[in-house]
Structure formats: structure tokens, C-alpha cells
């Protein structure tokens, strides 16, 4: 017996062809698409405005392959970390991050990661495969339900900052955002979505060429090549001058300033000289700066900097006229904070 086709991998025209070829009405395609992307249906039985015969036809020929929640953990600060199980048994993690001003879904784009950043738990895992666009969409849809069910607040933001490097799964990431932002999908504003990259210059330029409407964040973490080479091997083939050029190209094409993400490590990149190097880099790129508290990982070589050092670091950046925000870690007690997603809690 032939394997069932994933119905979410068909576009609307292809769905119409399916129904017409089966002697049914073409408008059924719009009904099914609405269930899949607007209502986030996970089974054909949920599609109650279709006849039983139509649902049986779909069941016999297609699958939806929805992701499921394997485990969920709730942090003391109300952060919820989910282990999502994919149809092939692989696991990725996604996080609901509630704050006073927003509800954010942090989602994964790959099973594992190939970039081996020294400070990241995911970087210690092998990359197994890219996620399909519908698997990324499912994370957002399910975390959106959690926000409503647990806190009675609508999901406001999505960040592609979970497991994997989004720009190494370019087509699926962009197609997932298309469904998340479409009026026929989840209807979220593109400006509420941020894609974070470790820094792949040619793909940053491609984002510019595609004139994307969402936000871009660069995981910088060091503003000189020697230090960045040490903690992020991707820098060896994407030096800071090349990244600078690509980020300016992105801004010229999209008009969107980039966020520079900078984790502050104790006695590594937290000196005033480091702050001045960051300030100089940020002057050459239309950007704002997010300083991030470090979240220790098992076997990691780095430590979180002290409060006096991070305050002095921020003051130095302010002195140079930069927009700076400090992102406090959330979900640390359940390994849900930035850099800690490594399927550690799965049993």
C-alpha cells in the first residue's frame, strides 16, 4: 500500500485538483485549507462542515502529521517548556515565555544543530534534519493555545530562537512564516516575528533580496573576530566585516534595523573594551542591542557575568548613544532559557 501524502504539503490549487478528480466540488479545497491553517486542525474528524464521505476520502488518502506534546514543564516564572514529538519520533523543544508586556513563542527550526557554538546546549547535539514548515507552524499554533488556556492572554510574538539555525532551513522557515502571518492562517503581524541567526552572510542578503517583513536578530556575542572564532565556529567563514556588509544590505532592502544579541560571559566579553568594540560595530550597522544574561549548560566553560559588570557594560554602550535592552533569563529552573534547549528533560 502506498504511503499517505501529507495534505499540508499541497497548495490550494493542488487541493482543488484532488477534489475535482474525485468528483467533488473545488470549493472543498478552501474548506480544508481553512481547517488546516486557520483553525489548526490536527485530524480530519475535526472538519465538521465536510460530509462523512469526504472525511473518509481524506483519511484514506492523506495524513496531517501533526506534532504532539511529549512533555511540558512549567517554570516558577510561568515559562512553559514543551518537548514536541514529530511524526518520525524525533523531539524538538518550544517555549512559551510570558512577561508583563507580551506572550512569546520561541520555536525550533531544526532537530539539533550543526553549528557547535560553545555556549549553547543545542550546539552539543548533532543535526538530525530540518523541520518542515508545517512542523514549525504547529509549534506556534500549540503554544498559542497554551497562552490562551493557561493565562487567558493572546500570543503576541514569535521568535525563531529555539533549536537549530533558521537560515540553514531557509525555505521551510519562510513558508512557516507565510502561514503564521497569512489572513488564511494565524494572521499574526510580520513585525511580531523575529528570526535569529548565528550569522550566515549570504542568507542574510537573500532575506534582503526577498524583502521580508519580519525582524532579524544576529547572535553576535563578540565584536572581534578572535573572540567570536573561539565561541562560534561559523565566524571562521563569516567574518565580522562580511556580516556587517550583509546586515547593511538587509537594512537597505527592507528598512528594518537588526537586533544585535550579545550574551555577556564573565571575564570573556564583559570588559569596557569589549563594550567599546560592540559600540563601534553597532555604529556601522543600523541596529539596536539586546544584552542577554548567560544561562549555564552542563559541561560548559563559561559563567554568567556579575551584576556590576553588566551595569557598567550597559552604561558604556549608552554613553556611545546606543539603544540597549537587557534580556533577563526566564525558565532557567526547567532548562528553558536561551541556549539551554537540548532535550535534557526527556525521559
Q: Are residues 144 and 30 in the same domain?
A: no
User: Based on the domain organization, do 53 and 79 belong to the same domain?
Assistant: no
Percent of the chain with pLDDT over 90: 82
- The residue from 106, 113, 117, 338 that is catalytic is 338
For residue 269, being part of any structural domain is answered with yes
Q: What is the mean pLDDT of residues 199-207?
A: 98
Q: Which residues contact residue 210 at a Cβ distance below 8 angstroms, ignoring those fewer than 6 apart? A: 174
Exposure letters 244-262 (e unless 16+ CB within 10 A, then b): eebbbbbbeebebbbbbbb
Give residue-wise pLDDT tens across range 290-316.
Answer: 999 888 776 668 899 999 999 999 999
> What is residue 345's predicted lDDT score, i.e. its pLDDT?
46
Residues in Cβ contact with 195 at an 8 Å cutoff, skipping those fewer than 6 apart: 160, 166, 167, 173, 177, 207, 214, 215, 216, 217
Q: For residue 347, is it within any domain?
A: no
CATH of residue 228: 3.20.20.70
Q: Would residue 275 count as lying in a domain?
A: yes
Domain boundary among 63, 83, 107: 63
Residue 297: its pLDDT value, please?
Answer: 72
Q: Are 55 and 162 found together in one domain?
A: no
If asked whether residues 102 and 53 sit together in one domain, one would say: no
Beta-carbon count within 10 A of 328 CB: 11
Overall average pLDDT of the 120-128 stretch: 78
- Domain holding 12, by residue range, is 5-63
- Is position 242 within any domain? yes
pTM: 0.92
Whether residue 263 lies inside any domain: the answer is: yes
Residue 288's pLDDT is 96
For position 331, what pLDDT does the model report? Answer: 56
Which of 13, 41, 63 is where one domain is finished?
A: 63
The reply to whether 113 belongs to the active site is no
Q: Is the pLDDT of residue 110 over 90?
A: yes
> What confidence score (pLDDT) does residue 205 get?
98
Mind listing the pLDDT tens digit for each residue in 311-340? Answer: 999 999 999 999 899 987 665 665 555 545
In a domain, 196, yes or no: yes
338 is catalytic: yes
Q: Write the pLDDT tens digit of every residue in 225-248.
A: 999 999 999 999 999 999 999 999
Longest dimension (CA), the chain: 72
Q: Cβ(135)–Cβ(179) under 8 Å? A: no
Contact (Cβ atoms closer than 8 angstroms) between residue 95 and residue 79 = yes
Task: Report how far residue 180's alpha carbon sits from residue 175's, in angstroms, rounded to the nearest whole number.
Answer: 9
Same domain for 326 and 254, yes or no, is yes
pLDDT-based confidence at 119, cuts 50/70/90?
confident
Query: Is the pLDDT assigned to residue 343 strictly greater than 70?
Result: no
In this structure, the number of other CB atoms found within 10 A of the CB of residue 132 comes to: 20
**What tens digit of pLDDT does each residue of 87-104 get?**
999 999 999 999 988 999
φ, ψ (nearest 5 deg) of residue 131: -80, 145
Of 331 and 256, which is predicted with more confidence?
256
Final residue of a structural domain among 13, 32, 63: 63
Length of the chain: 347
From the candidates 93, 135, 261, 316, give the one annotated as an active-site residue. 93
Give 25-74 pLDDT, tens digit per residue. 899 999 999 999 999 999 999 999 999 999 999 999 999 999 999 999 99
> In terms of pLDDT, which residue wins out, 116 or 326?
326
CATH code of the domain in which 9 resides? 1.10.150.530
229 and 149 in one domain? yes
Number of domains observed in the structure of the chain: 2
Q: 2 pLDDT exceeds 90?
A: no
Is the pLDDT score of 344 beyond 70? no
**Would strands 103-106 and 91-98 be described as parallel, antiparallel, or unpaired?**
antiparallel
Are 73 and 58 in a shared domain? no
CA distances from 91 to 40, 87, 154, 212, 272 (A): 20, 9, 26, 29, 41
Same domain for 229 and 298, yes or no, is yes
Q: Is 142 in the same domain as 80? A: yes
Q: Which H or E element spans position 49?
A: none
Does 281 reside within a domain?
yes
- Count Cβ neighbours within 10 Å for each residue of 38-54 and write b for 16 or more, e otherwise: eebbbebeebeebeeeb
**pLDDT tens string 142-181:** 999 999 999 999 999 999 999 999 999 999 999 999 999 9
Non-local (6+) Cβ contacts of 12 within 8 A are: 29, 30, 33
DSSP at 304: B
Amino acid at each position: 500500500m502506498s504511503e499517505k501524502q501529507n495534505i499540508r504539503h499541497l497548495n490550494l490549487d493542488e487541493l482543488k485538483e484532488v477534489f475535482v478528480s474525485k468528483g467533488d466540488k473545488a470549493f472543498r479545497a478552501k474548506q480544508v485549507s481553512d481547517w488546516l491553517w486557520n483553525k489548526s486542525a490536527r485530524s480530519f474528524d475535526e472538519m465538521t462542515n465536510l460530509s462523512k464521505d469526504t472525511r473518509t476520502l481524506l483519511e484514506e488518502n492523506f495524513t496531517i502529521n501533526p506534532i504532539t506534546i511529549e512533555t511540558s514543564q512549567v517554570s516558577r516564572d510561568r515559562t512553559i517548556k514543551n518537548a514536541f514529538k514529530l511524526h518520525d519520533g524525533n523531539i524538538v523543544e518550544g517555549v512559551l515565555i510570558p512577561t508583563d508586556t507580551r506572550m512569546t513563542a520561541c520555536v525550533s527550526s531544526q532537530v539539533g544543530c550543526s553549528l557547535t557554538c560553545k555556549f549553547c546546549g543545542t550546539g552539543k547535539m548533532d543535526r538530525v534534519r530540518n523541520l518542515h514548515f508545517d512542523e514549525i507552524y504547529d509549534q506556534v499554533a500549540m503554544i498559542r493555545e497554551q497562552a490562551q488556556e493557561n493565562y487567558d492572554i493572546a500570543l503576541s510574538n514569535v521568535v525563531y530562537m529555539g533549536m537549530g539555525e533558521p537560515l540553514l532551513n531557509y525555505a521551510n522557515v519562510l513558508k512557516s512564516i507565510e502561514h503564521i502571518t497569512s489572513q488564511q492562517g494565524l494572521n499574526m503581524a510580520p513585525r511580531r516575528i523575529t528570526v535569529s541567526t548565528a550569522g550566515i552572510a549570504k542568507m542574510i542578503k537573500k532575506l534582503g533580496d526577498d524583502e521580508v517583513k519580519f525582524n532579524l536578530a544576529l547572535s553576535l556575542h563578540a565584536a572581534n573576530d578572535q573572540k567570536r572564532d573561539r565561541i562560534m565556529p561559523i565566524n571562521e567563514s563569516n567574518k565580522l566585516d562580511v556580516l556587517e556588509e550583509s546586515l547593511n544590505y538587509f537594512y537597505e532592502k527592507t528598512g528594518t534595523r537588526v537586533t544585535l544579541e550579545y550574551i555577556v560571559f564573565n571575564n570573556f566579553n564583559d570588559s569596557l573594551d569589549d563594550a567599546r568594540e560592540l559600540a563601534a560595530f553597532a555604529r556601522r550597522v543600523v541596529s539596536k542591542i539586546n544584552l542577554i544574561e548567560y544561562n549555564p549548560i552542563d559541561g560548559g566553560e563559561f559563567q554568567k557575568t556579575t551584576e556590576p559588570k553588566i551595569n557598567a557594560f550597559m552604561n558604556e554602550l549608552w554613553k556611545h548613544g546606543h539603544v540597549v535592552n537587557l534580556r533577563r533569563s526566564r525558565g532557567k529552573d526547567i532548562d528553558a532559557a536561551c541556549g539551554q534547549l537540548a532535550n535534557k528533560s526527556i525521559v
